[in-house]
Amino acid sequence: MTSSGTASGPVRVRVCAVLLHDGLVCLIRRQRPAGAQLSFPGGVVEDEDGEDPIDALHRELREELGLDLAALPAPPVLRFVQDQETERPGETTPFRRRHLVYVAHLPDHLVAAVAAAEQDAPDEAPVVWLPVADAASLHLYPGVGAVLAQAVRPDTAAGGPVLLPAMTGASYQWR
């Protein structure tokens, strides 16, 4: 997928991973003024370099978590796509993203290799593993909590990614 432009600016593509192990999901926990925000590890595809989304996912997880996705027994699967157009606190232009949400099941030895804190951010936000059922009800970025339980079921991978309802100011609030 590529970015497209509109009057309010380009839509950047963000890749992220729902990393699963024994009923737990890996999240990056940031404390914001309005409360905790839990993000799926990932980042923006480097459009100017012509980066492929799966290559971006490999790069981002290596940078953030020290995780080498090439060591997985099966490659990550694109499960969800979610568009976002929200307003960030203190900004006047809409914040726009297209989130590509991949799912990967990690074996024990790779879980042990995941960093305890985000490695490429100055705040060194903690990396946490939470039960999927608990995480689904929390403030997640992107806002895929309602379908998070689907990520653990391998039978839902067939048929390609699911387009989720967009994140808007009515459905998602920045913290």
- Rounding to the nearest 10 degrees, give the CA dihedral for residues 114, 122, 136, 75: -40
**Selecting from 3.90.79.10, 3.40.50.10140, 3.40.50.150, 3.30.420.40, what CATH number does the domain 12-166 have?**
3.90.79.10
Q: Are 40 and 171 in contact (CB under 8 A)?
A: no
Lowest mean pLDDT across 57-61, 126-130, 159-163: 159-163
Q: What is the pLDDT of residue 17?
A: 97
Strand partners, 129: 26
Helix (H, G, I), strand (E, B) or coil at 23: coil
pLDDT at 126: 97
| Omega within 30 of 0 (cis) for the link into 142 | yes
Burial class (CB in 10 A: 0-12, 13-18, 19+), 82: buried
**Structure-model confidence comparison of residues 53 and 158, the more confident one:** 53
pTM of the model: 0.90
